[in-house]
Chains A and B, each alone.
Chain A
Amino acid sequence: MASRLVAISAAALVIGLIFGPIIAVLLLSGRLPGLTAADWQALRFTVSQAFLSALFSTLLAIPVARALARRQFPGRALLVTLLGAPFVLPTIVAALGLIAVFGQKGLVNALLAWAGLPSFSIYGFHGVVIAHVFFNLPLATRLFLQGWLSIPAEQYRLAATLNLGPRSVFRTLDLPMLTRIAPGAFAVIFVICLSSFAIALTLGGGPKATTVELAIYQALRFDFNVGHAATLALLQLGLAMGAGALALAVAAPRSLGTGLDRVVQRWDTSGLAPRLTDTAAILLAALFLLTPMTMVLWRGVFDLTSLDAGVWRAAWHSITIAAASTALSMTLALALANRWGEWLSLAAIAVSPLVLGIGLFLIVRPFVNPFSVALPVTAIVNAAVALPFALRILRPEAEAIRHDYDRLSASLGLTGLAWVRFVYLPRLRRPAGFAAGLTAALSMGDLGVIALFANPDRATLPLQIYRLMGAYRIEQAAAAALLLLVLSLGLFWVLDKGGRVNADL
């Protein structure tokens, strides 16, 4: 009963936070004008790039996650952490890193020229998809990796005892897990890519790459046509919720059974072919994800000493916000770890950040000066924005625990808080640590709503990076970006590690 109450209040908070601002904007405009021809074009582009980006991110993540799940090598844990870096960087920084590798004057073209091959242009539809895969492959990889680690070691032992070949092992053990994880991973990535704007435009090479979010921005900032922005925001939200409902409906809910939490040993993957494919998958993924990150490091490392007090103060604000939003987001996620909760949370990343910010401004303003609450509001919004990711990580495990241990718990009379303490939380620790780490890192890197009403002295680190760039201080911006990267990854590593204390993997 109590847990039901907690879930309902958490849901109410999320609904209020996401739909409140939209309603505020709708009330302000009072009407919903129809779509223009340019809007339809933007819609087509938005959906097709989001679909392909999600598809490739999900498909490519499978071999990488499989390789990481079944191979042990020195530095594996560090690699798993580092591979997550693109997901947590502010888009402008990551984009410059990506362009330093794939751009006109980037490493790839330097290599091609050296080999006497024609040059390659990143700018175009394929560039948008490459960039989105770069951002989201880490997330998909981690989701699948977690899926593999959740298959009890006993099942692989049994498969080995039965002398099952690699193909049969895949069909009986791996495939059911993949069909359980993939639709949700696809949905969450599809929804993030729906609201892409700056990245899609920059890598897309021009107005062909106009997304719905750009149209919303234009309507609000240039035309001040609030009604038009509200129409587009609702459309974007509807698309995301539709895709989310579909994906969550087809995801296989079944559990894989319980085990004794032994370290997984694989007997079916010692052949030469699986070894080669695994090595290739890990090397290629590391090359694709880590080279642009290295370029970000390289651009910033020489100017680290030029950072002034304002940047460090902003870094401190960002860490505080990250801590607060992680605590809030994890509380909400633990309460909402079911299919409805996950579907609802998708709305948080589907709603246009600009509409969310303006709506919150309208709501807060009658009570308090919005500038004075910029930091708390940013923390709350960041918590909501991280919620779908936290839930995507937690929900499969949470449901598996209920499914697998409910009968045992019932027969032992373990209920309520005791159940949470002895069954739910200990078994959820690994995904919870991962989810908390991701939430903290996302909150660090997200520009969020603070850009809309920030006091000069209450900036966050991503906002300071944009300000430095806007004031010609490109080198200092690069150094601040490096600081952000290190802090985000550090937070992620600490929390993720915390979830794995005393665990074998």
Chain B
Amino acid sequence: MKALAFAAGLMTASAALAETPVLTVYAPDYFTSEWGPGPAIETGFEAQCGCDLQFKPGDLLPRLLLEGQQTDADAVIGLNTDVTKQARESGLFAPHGQDTSDLTLPIAWTDEVFLPFNYGHTAFIYNTERMADAPASFDALLNAPDDLKIVIQDPRSSISGLALVLWVKAVYGDKAEEAWTKLAPKILTVTKGWSESYGLFTDGEADMVLSYTTSPAYHIIAEEDRTKKAAIFPEGHYFMVELAAKIAGTDQPELADAFMAYILSEEFQTMIATGNWSFPAKLDSSKWPEGFKELNLPEKALYYSEDEAAALRDEAVEEWRRALSQ
């Protein structure tokens, strides 16, 4: 291990010779890969900051909590509302200092620590070539014949899976477990993450997949394929927002502030739609890319604040587990 540390020490030492200030931003793996929005953000921000923006991908919050005050991060991007309570209580974050009164989210945003950069809603995606009429409401889905097969993600290992459990809770409240019991025979299987589910759906194994209202935009824009659609339910869809935040103990506070401002800039916001396949948090819908304007949007966004979600989470997951274990 010593030789390893030595060799690595040499590598980092040579990197430190450069004088440009470095802004270290922790982000989820999908965000920083060459197919995510990371590279474009890096180019865009570096053109104006005179700095070196370095993304460090991985499990955001677990890593931050492990590192505590010694973290190298100056900012983070890609947090989710389901973990903000835990993140806030760690005391590692500073206010973002941005004006959030004119965001274009379907809900009002007043959080001073976590700054939204894009959003979407949970939705079931179907293929119009294989299913002409998708269920027109959540109730219709629950009462659909059992040969309609859906794939979902596990709420214990996946953010979208957890959002689904909260969605069902928001629609059915005390009757959530009953709803799950009705849905259970239609659930072909439950996967660890979103990718496995979506792969099963595109392979034709399932009729519908739990994904996002923005998923069809990828197929429209990248593949000119208009057969993938989100089934819109009048009961409402669970709102999912992705967030950025500034680390309180950063040694680059000005750069971190500049990065927060950049996130809400029009340059960032026009790029994020096709970069991360989500709706921009601060961009009028007239400026959305063409494919996004075609998307079916829910009339109603359902949303639990982080305190409500934290209070409901364990019970809602347990209801899900009980109903699907029978």
Contact = CB atoms under 8 A, between A and B. Distances in A.
Q: Do A and B bind each other?
A: yes
Interface of A: 16, 28, 38, 92, 95-96, 99-100, 103-106, 123, 197-198, 201-208, 210, 214, 217-218, 220-222, 224, 299, 308, 310, 358, 361-365, 367-369, 371-373, 376-377, 380, 451-456, 459, 463-464, 466-474, 477
Contact of B192 (A198, A224, A308, A453): A198
B98 interface: no
A221 B66 contact: no
Contacts of B34: 308, 310, 456
18 contacts: A100-B203, A105-B203, A106-B205, A198-B192, A205-B187, A206-B324, A208-B324, A214-B192, A299-B203, A310-B34, A364-B1, A365-B67, A372-B12, A454-B57, A456-B33, A467-B29, A473-B35, A474-B198
Given A452-B59, A467-B33, 17 more contacts: A96-B203, A103-B200, A105-B204, A198-B196, A201-B157, A202-B192, A205-B188, A208-B325, A222-B156, A308-B34, A362-B66, A365-B67, A368-B12, A373-B4, A454-B58, A467-B30, A470-B33
A203 B189 contact: yes
A207 B321 contact: yes
B306 to A, nearest CB: 14
Contacts of A473: 35
Nearest to B86: A224
B277 A95 contact: no
B146 to A, nearest CB: 12
Interface residues of B, number: 63
A358 B200 CA distance: 30
Contact of A197 (B1, B57, B192): B192
A367 B5 contact: yes
Contacts of A16: 1
B199 interface: yes
Interface in B253-312: 277
A106 B200 CA distance: 11
Contact of B154 (A38, A214, A373): A214
Contact of B11 (A103, A106, A217, A372): A372
Given A103-B205, A207-B320, A456-B33, A92 B195 contact: yes
Contact of A214 (B29, B57, B72, B157): B157
Which residue, B187, B195, B198, B324, has most C-beta atoms of chain A within 10 A? B195
Contacts of B149: 104
Interface string B116-141: 00000000000000000000000000
A198 B149 CA distance: 20
A28 B63 CA distance: 13
Nearest to A199: B192
A202 B157 contact: no
A456 B38 contact: yes
Top 7 A-B pairs, shortest CB-CB distance: A471-B35, A469-B195, A467-B33, A368-B8, A367-B5, A218-B156, A470-B30
A453 B187 CA distance: 34
A468 B33 CA distance: 9
Contacts of B190: 201-202, 205-207
Nearest to A371: B56
Nearest to A119: B147
Nearest to B83: A222
Contacts of B156: 210, 214, 217-218, 222
Contacts of A202: 189-192, 196
Given A224-B86, A452-B58, A105 B8 contact: no
Contact of A224 (B62, B184, B219): B62
B153 to A, nearest CB: 10
Contacts of B9: 367-368
A470 B194 contact: yes
Contacts of B33: 456, 459, 464, 467, 470-471
Given A224-B86, A452-B58, A473-B35, A92 B30 contact: no
A461 to B, nearest CB: 13
Interface string B1-37: 1001101110110000000000000000110111110
B5 A364 contact: yes
Contacts of B162: 222
A166 B285 CA distance: 79
B218 interface: yes
Given A198-B192, A202-B196, A471 B11 contact: no
A368 B38 CA distance: 24
B198 A105 contact: no
Contact of A470 (B11, B72, B195): B195
B154 A201 contact: yes
A92 B157 CA distance: 15
B107 interface: no
A321 to B, nearest CB: 14
A486 B86 CA distance: 44
A362 B12 CA distance: 18
A106 B188 CA distance: 14
Contact of B35 (A123, A221, A362, A468): A468
Contacts of A472: 198, 215, 218-219, 222, 277
Nearest to A377: B4
Nearest to A121: B188
